[in-house]
Amino acid sequence: MPIIINLDVMLAKRKMRSNELAERVGITTANLSILKTGKAKAIRFSTLEAICKELDCQPGDIMEYVEEVKNKL
C-alpha cells in the first residue's frame, strides 16, 4: 500500500503510549493498532482530526504517500 502510517514516530516524539492516545481520541486500542499497522482501509476525518489535535501535529506528520515500484521483467 502506498500510504505509510508513521503514527509510532509521532507517539514516540510526544512520549505517549498507544492506549493513552486511543483513550483520548475515543477509539479502541484495537482500532488504533489496525491504523498503526497500515491495515485500515479508511479513517474518518473526525478521528484524524482528534489524533492530530492530541499529538499536536498535521496529517502529513503521521501519513505519507510513497509510490509503489513495479518490477519490470
User: What's the CATH number where 50 sits?
Assistant: 1.10.260.40
Q: What are the residues facing 65 on neighbouring strands?
A: 3
Residue 66 lies in a domain: no
Residue 67 lies in a domain: no
pLDDT tens across the length of the chain (73 residues): 689 999 999 999 999 999 999 999 999 999 999 999 989 999 999 999 999 999 999 999 999 999 877 776 6
* pTM of the complete model: 0.86
Residue 22 lies in a domain: yes
Residue 70 lies in a domain: no
Q: What are the residues facing 5 on neighbouring strands?
A: 63
**Distance of alpha carbon 10 from alpha carbon 8, whole angstroms:** 6
Residues in the chain: 73
73 class by beta-carbon count within 10 Å (0-12 exposed, 13-18 middle, 19+ buried): exposed
Residue 69 lies in a domain: no
Residue 35 lies in a domain: yes
Instruction: Please state the φ and ψ torsions of residue 54, each to the nearest 5 degrees.
Output: -70, -35
Whole-number pLDDT of residue 49: 97
